[in-house]
Amino acid sequence: EKEKGMDELWGEDEKANYTDKDYQWYKEAKFAMFIHWGLYSELAGEHNGKHYYGINEWIMRRAAIKTGEYRKLAETFNPVKWDADEVAQLAVDAGMKYVVLTAKHHDGFALFDSKASDYNISNTPYKKDIVKQLAKACKKKGIRFGFYYSQMQDWNEKDGFGNTWEFDAKEANVQKYMEEKALPQVKELVTNYGDIGCIFFDTPGPIKHEQVLELKALVDKYQPNCLINSRIGRGLGDFKTLGDNEIPSEPVDGLWETCDTHNNTWAYSNFDFNWKTPKEISHRLIDVISKGGNYLFNIGPKGDGSVPEVSAMILRETGKWIAKYKEAIYGTEALYLGGQTQFAATQKGNKMYLFIKEWPKDNKIYLPKFQSKVKNAYFLDDKSAVTATDLTSSTVVTFPLRMPDPVASVIVVEFDSKPK
Ligand code: FHN
């Protein structure tokens, strides 16, 4: 659900300008980790004794905290339980292929050592560069690293966009903010941390076409293959980020991503235990990949740097199911079987991977009619046989009674050609 007042912050144009960069890795990746972490994690949904439910990374705005007071959080930010290797390992265990960290969210605080603004991790008791640690850890574990950067909204700067409770928007010189903070910081991020797989810009708001062009040119100059999301604004991204927690009802063309929260907030909150279960996460992953997208799933570490244990446990459990059916997930394409909810499919070569989310009563699934001819069918886990028959108006898949996979079972149907 969008925070009140969010609409004005969105650019009018959220289309992506599908890329000619090297995007194969991104197409194959399917599952990734989003990390929302910053000074707001310390507040964990509470300010001056008041509890704020919902998105905690917005607590500065929601509680109208002035910059002078909010900046004090940096004086105590000391996430001694943060372990970049452990977080990268969690992503690997969950079956995730890239990680996207909030290098700077709307509150304006940078998790990296920035020469462009002293409002950064170096000036906390912790001191160490979080972006550097995580970029290194991801590299070590063989997954890609990307970052989130709020390019227009910066509530710490009077020339940034969005802090309406302290500054007068009419007096803001957004171009000055772009030149003095956003562009220099993005330059630091694309030059100091090795290969950047992708960048998640966010809430472009009133950004001008020329400003987007400048930002994009900067990224492309130093990281020509880095994929930029559509929220850079004005239709200039390489891939499309759908709305928050949005799963489309039909396949979407080109490269795209659904970003999803684990509970009802991106950043950690003490008051939100509404965790999606491994089954829910897997089903949402199936829904996304069967329509051709990637699923960027969020964790919100606490102020001390630790990942909430329940969230981590759930992700590890989800990873077990993914590992079992990896052939049906990574490197596949969309295969749309209509808008029903019981099953969904992906495809690779001549194979269709049929995910059974709800076991059908009579052990039978009617699929739309394919022109390709069925050759063979079996359960992916134990290779036990399934009967798939071409009928005049449908292909019927029939299987013996067996214990369904409690998350989702997968049947492979092999055709004589690419299923169509
Ligand atoms: O305002 C942000 C929000 O805090 C969060 O970062 C999400 C993630 O997609 N993006 C914005 C709202 O869409």
Beta-bridge partner residues of 53: none
pLDDT at 3: 52
Tokens representing 70 are: 């909010």
- Does the beta carbon of 137 sit less than 6 angstroms from any atom of ligand 1? no
Cβ(14) to ligand 1 under 6 A? no
* pLDDT, averaged across the chain: 94
What pLDDT score was predicted for residue 152? 96
Which among 42, 41, 63 is positioned nearest to 51, based on CA atoms?
Answer: 63
CA distance 409 to 84: 34
Ligand 1 atom closest to 34 (CA):
8
* List of residues 6+ apart from 100 with CB closer than 8 A: 32, 33, 34, 35, 146, 147, 148, 198, 200, 296
CA count, 13 A, side-chain hemisphere, 216: 23
Mutate to test the pocket of ligand 1, among 55, 62, 154 (most ligand atoms within 8 A of CB): 55
**Domain boundaries for CATH 2.60.40.1180 within the chain:** 333-415
Question: In CATH, what is the architecture of 7-324?
Answer: Alpha-Beta Barrel (3.20)
The residue type found at 372 is S
Which uninterrupted H or E stretch holds 363? none
Tens of pLDDT, residue by residue over 320-367, are 999 999 999 999 999 999 888 999 999 999 999 999 999 998 899 999
| 100 pocket-lining for ligand 1 (C-beta < 6 Å) | no
- Does pLDDT of 94 surpass 60? yes
CATH 3.20.20.80 in the chain: give the residue spans.
7-324
Q: Which residue minimizes the CA distance to atom 13 of ligand 1?
A: 244
Task: Decide if 244 contacts 213 (C-beta within 8 A).
Answer: no
The residue whose C-alpha atom lies closest to atom 4 belonging to ligand 1 is 57
Query: Ligand 1 centre from 368 Cα, in Å?
Result: 38
Is 80 exceeded by the pLDDT of residue 15?
A: no
> Is the beta carbon of 177 within 6 A of some atom in ligand 1?
no
Q: How far is the CA of 400 from the centre of ligand 1 (A)?
A: 46
Q: Can you say how many angstroms the Cα of residue 366 is from the centroid of all Cα atoms in its chain?
A: 33
- 115-128 pLDDT per residue, tens: 999 999 999 999 99
Q: What pLDDT sits at residue 18?
A: 58
Give the Cα separation of 21 and 309 in Å (integer). 38
The phi, psi pair for 86, rounded to 5°, reads: -65, -40
- 203, two tokens: 């809430």
Q: Tell me, in angstroms, the distance from the centre of ligand 1 to residue 202's CA.
A: 7
10 lines ligand 1 (CB under 6 A): no
Amino acid residing at 412: V
Q: Is 266 in the pocket of ligand 1 (CB under 6 A)?
A: yes
Ligand 1 centroid – CA 348 distance (Å): 33
Cβ–Cβ under 8 Å, residues 251 and 239: no
Q: Name the residue of 6, 41, 202 whose CB sits within 8 Å of the most ligand 1 atoms, as the mutation to test its pocket.
A: 202
State if residue 150 touches ligand 1 by the CB under 6 angstroms criterion. no
Tell me what ipTM this predicted complex has.
0.99
Using pLDDT thresholds of 50, 70 and 90, give the confidence band for residue 34. Answer: very high
pLDDT of amino acid 330: 98
| Span from the CA of 139 to the centroid of ligand 1 (angstroms) | 26
- How far, in Å, from the CA of 320 to the mean position of ligand 1? 29
333-415 maps to which CATH number?
2.60.40.1180
- 57 CB within 6 A, ligand 1: yes
Q: Evaluate if residue 10 carries a pLDDT over 80.
A: no
Is residue 200 lining ligand 1, measured as CB closer than 6 Å? no
Mean pLDDT of 55-59: 98
Strand-pair partners of 367: 395
Q: Is the CB of 267 under 6 A from ligand 1?
A: no
- For residues 145 and 102, the answer to whether their CB atoms sit within 8 Å is no
Q: What is the pLDDT of residue 400?
A: 87
Tokens of 111: 């998790």
